[in-house]
Structure 1
Amino acid sequence: MQICYQLLGIGKQATQREIFYNILSTSSSYITSQNQVNSAIQDAVAVLLCTRRSLGILASSKGAVVGRLVIKEHGGDTVDCSNLGSSSYPISADMNMKQHFYSDARYILVIEKDAIFQRLVEERFFLKVPCIIMTAKGFPDLASRALLHRLHQEFPSMLIFALVDWNPAGLAIICTYRFGSIRMGLEAPRYGKVMF
């Protein structure tokens, strides 16, 4: 809580990983693993009935998006996700998401495997099928879940499909996007609840 207080005092944000390293460098006898920090943050969110963002904590992002999506960022820059060549747009860790979205897509494809995502980007699949393609490169991180939730709110008529492994882990990925995560029960409505 002291680190969160300091972050808010100077108007900065940090990821959970940054907070872990900060604590490790100053008070290594209290905290020995990232899981302890994650649990403490989750406890603080539950006790204070607030969001991570309101505590100055950013979600680390590993996800990417590409396809028929134009993002107008808060600073005025515009990114056309269909003109990125063989690269993709990294999903922002800023949970406030002040961007504006424009799209003529009919579908959102959520891809579990980064290799499949990269192949679809290479093939420019979104030009053949009018879609937005996103991945969290495995189990969904908070930022990827928040983006999908926001896209679902902005474009409620777009159908959402998921391409995941046909195994329990694939089902867990779909359920996390759809219902939220058990560990983040209080925050699930903010970052989950999309319809497949």
Structure 2
Amino acid sequence: MEPMQIPDAYVFTPTVHQDERGVFLEWFRAEDLAGVLGHRFHLAQANLSVSRRGVLRGVHFAEVPVGQAKYVTCVAGAVLDVVVDLRVGSPAFGRWESVLLDDVSRRGVYLSEGLGHAFMAVSEQATVAYMCSQPYAPGREHGVHPLDPELGIAWPEGLEPVLSPKDEAAPTLAEARSRGLLPGYADCLAYYEKLRTA
């Protein structure tokens, strides 16, 4: 489990065992993640999305507390996975980092509560599995427009982004901040500490 440049986000690259039958790997280990976070990851919901090439989902986040931490991997195909620091007051506020998740490296990404998440399918079809620490709750789920020039996320060239109507209508980072939608860094740190001491 390696820390990303965005604080409180991590990349996990599993050992892939391969022979003439195929492959085997441990794509998630609760103890390893708990050792990094200082608390156990509470699995409340598991999602699976299948996207065609160019589909862009996100940037999504949930209000903190309680937020929604995610552990994400691509089980078939490939996606460019992006973590965005949306926590107002964070030293990394507004910064993003991308990781290629695919069915070769089998990497996974963990992002803590308060961080934004998005991905774009770069293969003809991509299947993404993500485990969430809290169930989906429409009233506290929000988004930031993934093509916001202020964020400046470097999505793959040559692909026309395909967004849902909801993501297309998402506010810019500045608009989300002015509306008070973004989580506060201090609130997130307090919530992480609460999880560690629970």
TM-score, normalization: structure 1?
A: 0.25
Higher helix share: 1
Larger RCO: Structure 1 or Structure 2 (Cα < 8 Å, ≥ 6 residues apart)?
A: 2
Larger radius of gyration: 1
Which has the larger share of strand? Answer: 2
TM value normalised by structure 2: 0.25
